[in-house]
């Protein structure tokens, strides 16, 4: 059924309003509800045409950009400052093992052999190495483990996994597009700009605290803090476009920047979360659900699910045995299970993979389903293991 884009937006907005209420009662993340609603809308055959579709596509892709921006804001480098490099080193080695095991297992699934292009295997291995900071933080917080060594180690491992996955996928996609050329240095340019803006930001905090203070106050009718955050986001997104790097990297770095400079500015964070999770991000996830290809899943994707779940758990649980040096076997396994949850990032990265033809529709659908399953299952098992 072809409808006007505003009717579709109204439908999305209606669902976006209802889903958190319902998912809260059922006990599943709102994102899961949004994707399922999107699948239902897609199954009903709702669609828009022409310019309307362009608007919806743009809003959904900007939702993805904003999602990556907020994921970046979740990255908290202060844990490294406060806890020292131990948890960072542990997290780094866990990620190295994760990526190695991921590459091995995806090759065992046959993604590296002649039937597929090797790019498929590499991209899938990278995808499966990701984690879900957005799920790990609330679970750890809910169990009162945020300030424990154990909780911080899991968090830092999730941060590193997400950060490294975004970075590696960006480097890899650029390599595929341009080859091993000077263009690769453009990524360095983005990071140089990141460093320069960070230094300028620090100077600004020291020299103009009075002016910056207003950004974080609730009584600002001009919402100068929100405007500045959007400007920062768009500077990095535009620069990424110029540098021919994935725009999500720019958005992610802009979020990391905001976290590095102003972490704890709760009112501004709340406003940005409001814009993101209240409007743009549900459009992205509902759109992902609407694009969900049941046919592709039925044709082959469904058979991938058990294998993907096993790989997704194995690539996180096996490296977590490194934690046995400091924690019990049970705690190490529990950490691996929580790190196995995937949600926003893997879906966002799968969307990029599909766009660049690095994975097929069946794989994308399987990954969405994997995210839905692990996002519900892993935190629940972790909670259960912690309580018993």
Partner 1 sequence: MVQKDKGPLGMKTIIIGGGRTGKELAAQLPDSVIIEKNPEKVARLKALKVAVAGVEVVIGDGCDEDLLKRVGLKDATTFISVTGDDDVNYRAARIAKRYGVPRIIARVDDPEDRARFQDLGVDYVIFPTKMIANLIVDLIRPREDKGIGSIDVPFKKILVPILDESTVNRAFKEALLVASVARAEITVVSSPDIERAKMEMPAREMGVRLRVLMEDERLMDIIKRHLHYRGCIIIERVKEHLYYPDCIIIDQEEVGFMNRLLGRGIVLKLIKCASRPVLVARTYRYYEQILAILDSSATSESVGRYALLLAHLCDARLHLLILENIPELVEWMKRMGEKSNIRIIENWIEGNPMIEAVKEVKSGKYQLAVIPWRGTGVIRADLIRRIINDAPCSVLTVV
Write out the residues near partner 1 by the rule CB under 8 A: 76, 78-79, 81-82, 199, 202, 205-206, 209-210, 212-213, 215-218, 260, 262-265, 267-268
Per DSSP, 2 falls in state B
Tokens for 289, please give them: 């659900």
Toward partner 1, which CB reaches closer, 51 or 210?
A: 210
Q: How far is the CB of 207 from partner 1 (least distance, A)?
A: 9
Complex with partner 1: residue 259 or 344, whichever CB lies closer: 259
CB of 226 to partner 1, least distance (A): 14
164 φ/ψ angles, rounded to the nearest 5 degrees: -65, -35
CB of 323 to partner 1, least distance (A): 22
Apex CA 54: angle with CA 52 and CA 59, to 5°? 100
Find tokens 């600002």 and name the residue.
220
Based on CB atoms, which residue is closest to partner 1, 203 or 310? 203
CA distances 354 to 105, 118, 264, Å, are 21, 15, 36
The first and second tokens of residue 110, run together, are 């046959």
Phi, psi of 361 (to 5 degrees): -60, -40
Cβ at position 20, least distance to partner 1 in Å: 25
**Residue 223 CB, nearest approach to partner 1 (Å):** 14
- Cα separation of 323 and 97, whole Å? 12
Choose between 137 and 260: whose C-beta lies nearer to partner 1: 260
The residues near 129 (Cβ < 8 Å, ≥ 6 apart) are 95, 98, 99, 102, 161, 164, 165, 168, 315
Residue whose CB is less far from partner 1, 266 or 328: 266
The neighbour count for residue 1, using CB atoms within 10 Å, is: 6
Indicate the residue among 225 and 282 with the shorter CB distance to partner 1: 225
CB of 217 to partner 1, least distance (A): 5
Task: At 61, list the tokens.
Answer: 């892709």
- What distance in Å separates the CA atoms of residue 292 and residue 137, rounded to the nearest whole number? 28
Q: Using DSSP, state whether 47 is helix, strand or coil.
A: strand
Q: Which residues of 267-299 are buried (b: 16+ CB within 10 A; e: fewer)?
A: ebbebbeebbbebbbbbbbbbbbbbbbeebbee
Q: Which is nearer to partner 1, 40 or 261 (CB)?
A: 261
Q: How far is the CB of 165 from partner 1 (least distance, A)?
A: 24
**Min separation Cβ 152 and partner 1, Å:** 10
CB of 188 to partner 1, least distance (A): 18
Cβ–Cβ < 8 Å for 334, 355: no
Helices (H) and strands (E) in the chain, counts: 19, 0
């Amino acid at each position: 059924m072809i409808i006007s884009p505003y009717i579709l937006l109204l439908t999305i907005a209606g669902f976006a309003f209802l889903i958190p209420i319902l998912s809260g009662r059922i006990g599943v993340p709102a994102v899961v509800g949004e994707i399922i609603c999107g699948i239902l809308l897609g199954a009903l055959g709702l669609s828009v045409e022409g310019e309307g579709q362009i608007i919806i596509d743009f809003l959904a892709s900007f939702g993805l950009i904003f999602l990556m921006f907020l994921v970046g804001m979740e990255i908290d480098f202060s844990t490294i400052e406060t806890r020292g490099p131990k948890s960072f080193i542990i997290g780094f080695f866990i990620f190295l093992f994760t990526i190695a095991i991921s590459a091995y297992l995806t090759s065992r699934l046959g993604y590296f052999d002649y039937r597929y292009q090797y790019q498929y295997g590499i991209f899938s291995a990278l995808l499966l190495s990701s984690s879900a900071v957005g799920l790990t933080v609330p679970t750890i917080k809910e169990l009162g483990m945020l300030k424990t060594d154990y909780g911080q180690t899991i968090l830092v491992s999730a941060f590193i996994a997400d950060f490294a996955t975004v970075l590696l996928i960006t480097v890899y996609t650029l390599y595929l597009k341009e080859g091993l050329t000077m263009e690769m240095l453009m990524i360095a340019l983005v990071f140089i700009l990141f460093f320069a803006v960070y230094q300028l930001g620090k100077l600004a905090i020291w020299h103009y605290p009075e002016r910056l203070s207003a950004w974080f106050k609730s009584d600002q009718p001009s919402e100068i803090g929100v405007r500045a955050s959007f400007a920062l986001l768009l500077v990095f997104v535009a620069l990424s476009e110029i540098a021919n790097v994935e725009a999500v990297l720019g958005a992610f770095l802009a979020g990391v920047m905001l976290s590095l400079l102003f972490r704890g500015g709760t009112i501004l964070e709340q406003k940005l979360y409001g814009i993101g999770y209240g409007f743009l991000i549900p459009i992205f996830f509902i759109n992902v659900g609407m694009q969900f290809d049941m046919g592709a899943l039925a044709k082959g994707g469904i058979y991938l699910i058990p294998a993907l779940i096993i790989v997704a758990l194995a690539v996180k649980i096996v490296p977590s045995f490194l934690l046995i040096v400091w924690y019990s076997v049970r705690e190490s396994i529990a950490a691996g299970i929580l790190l196995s949850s995937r949600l926003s990032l893997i879906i966002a990265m799968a969307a990029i993979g599909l766009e660049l033809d690095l994975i097929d529709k069946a794989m994308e659908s399987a990954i969405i389903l994997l995210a839905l399953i692990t996002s519900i299952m892993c935190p629940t098992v972790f909670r259960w293991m912690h309580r018993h």
